[in-house]
Amino acid sequence: MSPRPLAAAPMTRRGFLAAGVLGGAALVACSRSTTGNAPGAAGAPDAIAAAEAARPHTGKTVTAQLNPGTADIDLGGTRARTLAYNNQVPGPLIRANVGDEIAVSVNNGLDHATSMHWHGLAVRNDMDGASPATPDIAAGGDFTYRFSSPYPGTYWAHPHTGLDTDYGLYIPIIIDDPTDPIGYDAEWIVVLDDWTSGVGSSPEEIYQGLRPKGGSGQNPTSGMPGMPGMGGMGPMPGMGGMPGMGGMPGMGGMGSMSGTPGVGVAGTSDLLGGDGGDVNYPYYLINGRIPAAASTFTAKPGQRIRIRIINAGADTAFRVALAGHRMTVTHTDGFPVVPTDVDAVLLGMGERYDVIVTAGDGVFPLVASAEGKNAVARAMLSTATGSAPDAAFRPPELTQLVGTVDTFTATPQVQLPTNADLALQARLSGTMMHYDWAINGRPYDQTVPLTIQQGQHATLTFANATMMWHPMHLHGHTFQVIKPDGSPGPRKDTVIVKPMQTLTVRLVADNPGIWMLHCHNAYHMGAGMMTTLNYTG
CA dist 364 and 386 (Å) reads 9
Cα separation of the two ends of the chain:
45
- As measured in angstroms, the least distance from the Cβ of 501 to Cu ion is 13
Q: To the nearest whole angstrom, how small is the minimum distance from the Cβ of residue 178 to Cu ion? A: 38
Q: Which whole-number Å values give the CA distances from 426 to 282, 381, 401, 483, in the listed order?
A: 33, 41, 31, 17
Q: 117 or 470: whose CB is closer to Cu ion?
A: 470
Nearer to Cu ion, 123 or 497 (CB): 497
Identify which of residues 497 and 533 has a Cβ nearer to Cu ion in the complex: 497
In contact, 397 and 322? CB cutoff 8 Å: yes
Say how far apart CA 152 and CA 413 lie, in whole Å: 14
How far is the C-alpha of 12 from the C-alpha of 321, rounded, in Å? 39
Minimum gap (Å) between residue 366 Cβ and Cu ion: 27
Q: Which is nearer to Cu ion, 148 or 221 (CB)?
A: 221
Where does this chain touch Cu ion (CB under 5 A) — which range of 13-21, 271-279, 356-364, 467-475?
Answer: 467-475
47 belongs to the binding site for Cu ion (CB under 5 A): no
Binding characters for Cu ion, 401-440, by CB under 5 A (x = yes): ----------------------------------------
Q: Is 470 in the site for Cu ion (CB under 5 A)?
A: yes
238's CB contacts (< 8 A; 6+ apart) are: none
Please report how close the Cβ of residue 521 comes to Cu ion at its closest, in angstroms.
4
What is the closest distance, in whole angstroms, from the C-beta atom of residue 182 to Cu ion in the complex? 37
Each residue 509-528 as x (binds Cu ion by CB under 5 A) or -, in order, gives ----------x-x--x----
For residues 233 and 481, which CB has a smaller minimum distance to Cu ion in the complex?
481
Least distance in angstroms from the C-beta of 214 to Cu ion: 23
- Distance, CA of 315 to CA of 292 (rounded, Å): 22
- Could you tell me how many residues of this chain bind Cu ion (CB under 5 A)? 4
Q: How far is the CB of 216 from Cu ion (least distance, A)?
A: 20
Per CB under 5 A, which region of 12-20, 115-123, 401-409, 465-473 contacts Cu ion? 465-473
What does DSSP assign to residue 410? B
Distance, in Å, from the CA atom of 77 to the CA atom of 289, rounded to the nearest integer, reads 9
Nearer to Cu ion, 432 or 519 (CB): 519
Q: How far is the CB of 529 from Cu ion (least distance, A)?
A: 5
Nearest C-alpha neighbor of 359 from the set 184, 154, 190: 184
Window of 127-135, 144-152, 270-278, 463-471 that interacts with Cu ion by CB under 5 A: 463-471
E-strand ranges in 323-448 read: 327-332, 335-342, 344-347, 352-358, 363-370, 375-382, 402-403, 422-429, 438-439
**C-beta of 243 vs 526, nearer to Cu ion:** 526
Cα–Cα distance for residue pair 365/139, rounded to 1 Å: 41
The strand pair at 101-107 and 61-66 is best described as: parallel
Q: Considering only 57-65, 207-215, 252-260, 464-472, which stretch makes contact with Cu ion by CB under 5 A?
A: 464-472
- Least distance from Cu ion to the Cβ atom of residue 67, Å: 31
Contact 148, 104 (CB under 8 A): no
Instruction: Point out which span in 152-160, 196-204, 245-253, 462-470 binds Cu ion (CB under 5 A).
Output: 462-470
Looking from the CA of 55 toward its CB, the CA atoms found within 13 Å total: 26
Comparing CB distances to Cu ion, the nearer of 336 and 526 is 526
Is residue 171 a contact partner of residue 134, using CB atoms and an 8 Å limit? no
Alpha-carbon span 390 to 523, nearest angstrom: 32
Nearer to Cu ion, 99 or 499 (CB): 499
Give contact residues for Cu ion (rule: CB under 5 A).
470, 519, 521, 524
